Amino acid sequence: KVASPPAEEVVQLMLPEEEAGPVRETPWAELQLGEWDTRVDVPGDPDSVANPVMQGLMEEMAQHIVQEDVKAYEKGLDEGLPNGYGKMIIEEWQDGLKKITMRIFWQPEGVDEQTFEKTFFIHEEAGYGE
């Protein structure tokens, strides 16, 4: 398998194309509407209004960002994800359909902040999490 750039890899780990993955396996009702940030919406952060399930997802995303940054650095193939963080925006798109936007941000030294974004739609009846 060809390695994707680190930011794409993080999104792929959370919402893989070939299998369900952590986000799709989350019960529909727990996919809380809002904009969630790996810098705030993690277990134990008093500023977070995310439910515990969302905090768990954001913590997992944060860990993937760190791991992919380290991997890229070790391989020396990519700048990695310095100062990396992620956001997950969940919107009610229409009845029974949620739009999920995954955004990864990173800032290499001396360069503007970089962003990778990918959007997914999840149907209530898809039944991944059952």
Which amino acid appears at position 87 of this protein?
Answer: K
Half-sphere CA count of 126, side-chain side, radius 13 A? 18
Over residues 41-78, the pLDDT tens digits come to 999 999 999 999 999 999 999 999 999 999 998 988 77
Is the pLDDT higher at 96 or at 125?
96
Q: What is the pLDDT of residue 1?
A: 54
| Pairing, β 114-123 against β 34-37 | unpaired
pLDDT tens, residue by residue, 15-42: 998 899 999 999 999 999 999 999 999 9
Torsion of CA 16, 35, 87, 13, to 10 degrees: -20
Q: Number of C-alpha atoms within 13 angstroms, CB side, residue 38?
A: 22
